[in-house]
Structure 1
């Protein structure tokens, strides 16, 4: 089966009734967990971005508390999982401020993890890469926010 382009899908969706659209949305939500999460974000959380950020930060806290710190291998594996989850939530929002705040929060939590990540170059590289992404994102927001985010970035003292 060949996948249709977005344009073709859009044109076809324009001809559907609201009941048919509802059924299609529900089928998508049942098909994959990410679709259900995205639909939940769009319906319930998109109108309050600050609350959304806080809920994702709480989830990041929970995930960092569950990190197995017995070896750097397990830490790195857990950190990658947390980062993947964080990026997924950033993708749902597509808001630069949310992206910067969540990545900053992730980096601050990563920096505070015990044992120190300074002994693991691979985990440090994860941190450095995310800081680069934060800096790129900061350039794209309003000047007042740039100053605030740069202040928070200094807390990482890289």
Structure 2
């Protein structure tokens, strides 16, 4: 016998009829089973009200992880993927495209500062290129007013990348 999985609409309807004490008990029970559930609940309760401070904190964490980046290409690529998994998790918490753009721009800036730019190890190059594509696509999805707030940062990133990375063709990533 398996447990029936209900859709979000059914769960949402049922949650409206649950008293506050039972709701707290359900949330604590849910948080007990998975670390990511606890982290999400902690974010929603303590940090969601000040998203800019949270983004600044995550940028600091990303910067620290980049400062610990190994010199060897294979291990550097593994570390970069770990940083990207962390960014993805925090972006899921915020649910904001703007936060994703800011964190990915920070990732790329740190890449330019810390990663071995002359490496011929292709996975390192692909990681950076994919993030530029992701930033470009997310900026294109934004409303026109918000888009103009992030264009200068992206263009500055492309300019810096063009100066520091001989293998990058920035024409492919321009908006």
TM above 0.5, one fold? yes
Large movers: runs of 4+ above 6 Å: none
Q: 1:3 aligns with which of 2, 5, 21?
A: 5
CA distance in 2, matches of 1:57, 1:150: 16
Question: Per the alignment, do residues 16 and 5 of structure 1 end up closer, same or farther by CA in structure 2, a change over 3 Å counting?
Answer: same
Q: 2:39 aligns with which of 37, 40, 56?
A: 37
CA distance in 2, matches of 1:118, 1:104: 21
Query: Equivalent residue for 2:166?
Result: none
Question: Per the alignment, do residues 84 and 143 of structure 1 end up closer, same or farther by CA in structure 2, a change over 3 Å counting?
Answer: closer
User: Once the two structures are superposed, what CA deviation does each residue of 1:80-109 show, in whole Å capped at 9, x if it has no partner?
Assistant: 111101111011111121110100111111
Structure 1-normalised TM-score?
0.90
Gaps of 5+ in 2: 163-169, 171-175
Question: Per the alignment, do residues 79 and 132 of structure 1 end up closer, same or farther by CA in structure 2, a change over 3 Å counting?
Answer: same
Shift of 1:63: 1.5
Query: Equivalent residue for 1:125?
Result: 126
RMSD: 1.7
Query: Equivalent residue for 2:167?
Result: none
CA distance in 2, matches of 1:20, 1:14: 12
Q: Which moved more, 1:111-120 or 1:128-137?
A: 111-120
Query: Equivalent residue for 2:153?
Result: 149
Structure 2-normalised TM-score?
0.82
* Structure of higher CA gyration radius: 2
Confirm whether residue 56 of structure 1 aligns to residue 61 of structure 2: no
Query: Equivalent residue for 2:165?
Result: none
Query: Equivalent residue for 1:76?
Result: 77
User: Once the two structures are superposed, what CA deviation does each residue of 1:46-95 show, in whole Å capped at 9, x if it has no partner?
Assistant: 111110111101111222222222x2111111111111011110111111
Look up the SS of the partner of 2:17 in the other structure: coil
CA distance in 1, matches of 2:129, 2:21: 48
CA distance in 1, matches of 2:115, 2:13: 53
Does structure 1 conserve the Cα–Cα contact (< 8 Å) formed by 2:101 and 2:138?
Answer: yes
